[in-house]
Structure 1
Amino acid sequence: MCGICCMVSFAGCSIDRSCLQDNENLRRRGPNSSHQLIRHNPSHGYDCYFSGHVLHLRGPLTPQPLEDKNGNVFLWNGELFGGIEVQSADNDTQIMFQHLSSCDDESNIFSLFAKVKGPWAFIYYQANRHYLWFGRDFFGRRSLLWKFSDNLDKVFSLSSVSECSSEPDSDDWQEVPASGLFKCDLQSSAKLKCIELTWYPWKTAPEIPLTDESLLGQEQSQILKCSSTLVHIVLGESKWLTAPVTPLNKQIPGEITNLHNTGSQNKTAVEHLRMLITDRHKTNAQSLIKILSEAVKRRVLCLQRECSLMADSEKNANVAILFSGGIDSMILAVLADHHVPPEEPIELLNVAFMMKEQKPRKLKKRVPECSSQTGNLERPTVYSQYDVPDRITGRSGLEELKALNPSRTWKFVEINVTLQELQERRQHHICTLLRPLSTVLDDSIGCAVWFASRGIGMLASNDEMKPYVSTAKVVLTGIGADEQLGGYSRHRVRFNNLGYEGLLEELAMELDRIAYRNLGRDDRVIGDHGKEARFPFLDEDVVTFLNSLPVWEKTDLTLPRGIGEKLILRIAALELGLNVSSVLPKRAMQFGCRIAKMENCNEKASDACSRLMASSKD
């Protein structure tokens, strides 16, 4: 994982190099190596400034930017998890650069990126043609921003994250759409005094002509409309840039059968779930486990491990999981346990924001909501200010994991955040990582993920709580499960109002917009700690498998909460030996960790966040 940046000046004036060398946000993403490279091209009217900051995870440490004998320059923030062969001793940045340098025409470049499985954002300077190529993977799992400065210097900038700046144009950054590859003709741009961009969109359906703008997605249409006096974007032909996943199966059943009224009234939630499982359900769940397990395996094994003679409990963890005890994080923990070396600890990062109520009080029956149906759960009579719902389900999930594998060292890290620390960190740092996103939801989730992935908290040791700092460089997150399997309340609303057609429309939209709603933001806040976010539920093979299934085999919203949504995943959880967590209802992170209750509780998630606005002006 890396922080990458490129700035191009078309005015013949030098760019202040300190803006590359002193960008703390970039350096924090890549603590193991930082380098800059300048390419002067006065005869062609432009200069390029490249900056690379590397987090060393695979193969030999490879400083960036890379440059070959032909003057090509490469910046790579990604992982090759398939499609292109990488040996265990190889560095994937070098492998990608070797392939790119051997591409003799544009079709080869498109074919190369169409093969890649895994997250990526890249910048590639093709010297002999004066082209600057850049883009993000199909889901946008790695952040890349652009900015067009229409000032005397006429600077075009690309960066993993915006700079720490209070300058007037510091808010001009926008996310590069995860909609294909882009090419900037630098020589032409210098002559025309206008940035010439060609956009090559992903080819997702052979029957849709790529030149028909009316058939392109909303995000793609906006790209074509962003042409201005400074930027001119044209649509290019990219028939070789095929999407890495199959289209969503939009088959609709002939009729809807209500299954949960058939003798389930006196059953526990787990018994009810078991009663619903057909051979078809079981087969699909087992197939999902196999494919998802491989995705987790690639993400927990593709990293450097140091040999250590310390006792297992004292060894450093290399892998962490954003952990609420909910079904998504529980399944990731179980599958990670299958592949992480047995002597190595696994960190479970559990974040809680201080609740306003300070006096002890009785616990509500909240965890799980159907707990009276799942069996007896031990609950404390009173709890502290940090015993938020996700803390309680997290502890319950920890006990399930210990029962499945008592020999594993599970490090359940309790990360407690006060209102004062939240406000200070947001104002002085997190607000710049969230840019250009600025809604209440971005603030809540972005701050929660930042504190969780930082991993500074307390760990139980010998019956006492001791300070602990996470050592893992890889952080697994369950994002993508709800989007594909109908886990959000809006999915149930759409289904209740418009049936399967409405549900399928909503699910189709989810992955189309996940790049600019979630993934760029999450990559920026997790990467800020010198850690890499990895998303097993968005593995290309996992998405392809889930897309191939009819919607009613993945989710059944005629069933109650805690059972119907993400049905295939709940059945998979039972197959893996989980019980209580398999029937926990979905609870959004901002409510589970209680960050949404700390400040203004009357806000809407889609509102512009006044706290972020205020922070950006300070």
Structure 2
Amino acid sequence: MCGIYCRVGVGSCSGNCSNLYNDANLKHRGPNSSQHLFKCNLPDGYCCYFSGHVLHLRGSLTPQPLQDKKGNVFLWNGEVFGGIEVSSNDNDSEIMFQHLTSCDEDHNILSVFSRVQGPWAFIYFQANNHSLWFGRDFFGRRSLLWEFSQDLTKCLSLSSVAECTPGSDWQEVPSSGVFKCDLYSCAKLKSVALTLYPWTTSPEFILKEEMLEQEQSQILNSFPKLKSVVISESKNLHTPVSPLNTKIPEEDAKLHSSSSKIQITVDNLRMLVTNEHKKNAQAFINVLNKSVQRRVLCLHRESNFVPEDEKKANVAVLFSGGIDSMILAVLADNHIPPEEPIDLLNVSFMQKTPNPTKLKKYMIGTSMLTPNMDIAASRSPFDVPDRITGQSGLKELKALRPLRTWNFVEINVTLEELKEMRNVSISHLVQPLGTVLDDSIGCAVWFASRGRGLLNINEKMTPYISTAKVVLTGIGADEQLAGYSRHRVRFDNLGYKGLLEELAMELNRISSRNLGRDDRVIGDHGKEARFPYLDEDVVTFLNTLPVWEKADLTLPRGIGEKFILRVAALELGLMSSCVLPKRAMQFGCRIAKMENSTEKASDKCSRLLPGLQD
């Protein structure tokens, strides 16, 4: 992973672009190497400043930006997990640069990015035709922001993280395709000229074609200072996943979704599972297992000569004890060397007055309530729902995979620390997003991925800081498998057609709603977010299944949503976590209850504005 940055100036460029940017936040993302490069082409009237900050994860440490003898320059913030061959000893930045510099035509460059499987954001200066290429992968799993200015010395800026400067107007680069900027034309026009090469989609990809005109209009409207924006009709950038299966059963069961009285138990879930369900779940396990394998093995590890009791964790899981994170933990155990610990990062925000009734409810649901337990006496201000389910999940993992060292890291956050770190770091990282939901999720993920908490060692709570550079997150499971309450509402009102439309919309907007933000807040700790549920092969597999094989919303909450995932959990040997209902992170960790519980998630959040902290 890297922090990447480029600034383009046209006209009378003075050559001092490097003085215009404070790259401290980029260095957090790439602590192992920092390097800068200035390209000035005054005869053609433009200057470019490039800055790269590298987190070393695979192959040999390769400083960025990369430059070849022809003057081409490359910045890469991504991981190649498939599509282009990268051996275990290779660095994917070098491999990608080699592929790009061998391309003479635009369609060849687009073909390279069509083949890459994995998350990416990139900036590529093609010297021979004065072109600056940039973009994000189809899902937008890596952050890339842009800012346009009437100041010709910085008419276009690109960065992994926004600058903290008054009056700045950074926005996320849409993951709608790959962009090309003709720098020679920019110098002549004294403004930015862009071409967008959009992802090609199949007509069967529900909503994608219908939304294309609206999406393109939104892109055009985001360029108020531009004189030239062209959306290419090229069909050379191919969508990396298959179309969504839009088949609807003959009898749409929307009217029966609220009538089920099935008790939510593991035994009842098991009774509902047919051989066909098991077959699909096993196929799902196979493809997800390979996705996890790619993400836990593609990183540099310590020497084999390090004593086993001194081995440190290289991989962590954002862990609530819910089904998404439990399955990731089990599958990670399949591939991580057995002597290496796995960190389970569990975040909790302090409650003023824990509710004993609710606490008892959660403990009963996770089988943690023991006879004669005094709930009032044992409660802690950090006994939030995700802490309780996390502890229950830890017990399951220890029983199922007893040879692994599972580091359950209790990350406890007070209101004072939340306010301090939001003001110092988090509000800046969440930008340009700014809703109450962005604040809640951004803060929760930042504290969780920092990995600074307490570890139970020999029945003593001991301070612990996670050493993992890779953080697995379960995002993508709810979006594809109808895990949110809005999916059930759509199903109740419009049946399978409404549910399919909602699921299609989820993947279309996941880049702008979640992934760039999560990449920025996790990357701030010099760690890389990896998203196994959004692997191209996983998404393709799920897209091929009919919707009722993935989720059965005629069944009650805790069974019907993410049904295929619950069956997969049973097949893997999990128990109580199989029937835990979906609980949004902001409510599970209780950050949503910490400051202003009357706010709506979509409200603009004033707390994200620096200087407005209480």
Q: The TM-score by the shorter chain falls in which range?
A: over 0.9
Structure 1: runs of 5 or more not aligned: none
Change (3 A) 1:217 1:537: farther
Whole-Å Cα distance in 2 between the matches of residues 414 and 313 of structure 1? 21
Whole-Å Cα distance in 2 between the matches of residues 355 and 219 of structure 1? 42
Could you say which residue in structure 2 is the equivalent of 1:193? 190
**Contact 2:549–2:564 (CA under 8 A) maintained in structure 1:** yes
* 2:294 paired with 1:298: yes
**Contact 1:224–1:235 (CA under 8 A) maintained in structure 2:** no
* 2:363 paired with 1:364: no
* Correspondence for 1:238 among 234, 237, 248: 234
- The CA deviation string for residues 53-102 of structure 1, in whole angstroms up to 9 with x for no partner, is 00000100000000011100000000000000001000000000000000
For 2:174, give the aligned amino acid.
P
Q: Determine helix, strand or coil for the equivalent of 1:25.
A: helix
* 2:126 paired with 1:129: no
Could you say which residue in structure 2 is the equivalent of 1:55? 55
* 2:408 paired with 1:412: yes
- The CA deviation string for residues 239-263 of structure 1, in whole angstroms up to 9 with x for no partner, is 121100011111111114559989x
Whole-Å Cα distance in 2 between the matches of residues 21 and 215 of structure 1? 37
Could you say which residue in structure 2 is the equivalent of 1:31? 31
* 2:115 paired with 1:118: no
For 2:532, give the aligned amino acid.
P
- The CA deviation string for residues 518-552 of structure 1, in whole angstroms up to 9 with x for no partner, is 00000000000000000000000000000000000
Shift of 1:21: 6.7
Whole-Å Cα distance in 2 between the matches of residues 293 and 63 of structure 1? 32
RMSD: 2.2
Could you say which residue in structure 2 is the equivalent of 1:561? 557
Change (3 A) 1:342 1:16: same
* Correspondence for 1:352 among 341, 348, 354: 348
Structure 2: runs of 5 or more not aligned: none
| Matched positions, count | 607
Change (3 A) 1:97 1:616: farther
For 1:196, give the aligned amino acid.
A
- The CA deviation string for residues 492-525 of structure 1, in whole angstroms up to 9 with x for no partner, is 0110111111111100000000001000000000
Change (3 A) 1:19 1:418: farther
Whole-Å Cα distance in 2 between the matches of residues 175 and 369 of structure 1? 43
Shift of 1:366: 3.5
Whole-Å Cα distance in 1 between the matches of residues 288 and 363 of structure 2? 25
For 1:530, give the aligned amino acid.
G
User: Among the aligned pairs, what percent are the same residue?
Assistant: 67
Q: Determine helix, strand or coil for the equivalent of 2:359.
A: coil
Change (3 A) 1:473 1:19: farther
Shift of 1:224: 2.6
Could you say which residue in structure 1 is the equivalent of 2:542? 546
Q: Determine helix, strand or coil for the equivalent of 1:336.
A: helix
Whole-Å Cα distance in 2 between the matches of residues 249 and 213 of structure 1? 15
Whole-Å Cα distance in 2 between the matches of residues 578 and 390 of structure 1? 18
- The CA deviation string for residues 299-357 of structure 1, in whole angstroms up to 9 with x for no partner, is 00000001254554431100000000000000000000001010100000000000011
Could you say which residue in structure 1 is the equivalent of 2:328? 332
Q: Give 1:300-449 correspondences, 5 Å limit.
A: 300-357=296-353, 361=356, 364-367=359-362, 381=375, 382-449=378-445
For 1:242, give the aligned amino acid.
H
Change (3 A) 1:597 1:259: closer
- The CA deviation string for residues 10-32 of structure 1, in whole angstroms up to 9 with x for no partner, is 13233644557741110000000
Change (3 A) 1:452 1:231: farther
**Contact 2:58–2:91 (CA under 8 A) maintained in structure 1:** yes
Could you say which residue in structure 2 is the equivalent of 1:174? 171
Change (3 A) 1:236 1:152: closer
Q: Give 1:440-459 correspondences, 5 Å limit.
A: 440-459=436-455
Change (3 A) 1:19 1:553: farther
Whole-Å Cα distance in 2 between the matches of residues 259 and 228 of structure 1? 46
* Correspondence for 1:506 among 498, 502, 507: 502
Q: Determine helix, strand or coil for the equivalent of 1:364.
A: helix
* Correspondence for 1:571 among 567, 570, 593: 567
Shift of 1:168: 1.9
Q: Determine helix, strand or coil for the equivalent of 2:362.
A: coil
Shift of 1:613: 2.4
Whole-Å Cα distance in 1 between the matches of residues 227 and 159 of structure 2? 18
**Contact 2:264–2:579 (CA under 8 A) maintained in structure 1:** no
Change (3 A) 1:558 1:391: same
* 2:165 paired with 1:183: no
Could you say which residue in structure 2 is the equivalent of 1:468? 464
Could you say which residue in structure 2 is the equivalent of 1:482? 478
Could you say which residue in structure 1 is the equivalent of 2:251? 255
Change (3 A) 1:390 1:217: farther
Q: Determine helix, strand or coil for the equivalent of 2:529.
A: strand
Q: Give 1:142-221 correspondences, 5 Å limit.
A: 142-151=142-151, 153-163=153-163, 165-169=164-168, 172-205=169-202, 216=212, 218-221=214-217
Change (3 A) 1:375 1:563: farther
Shift of 1:364: 3.1
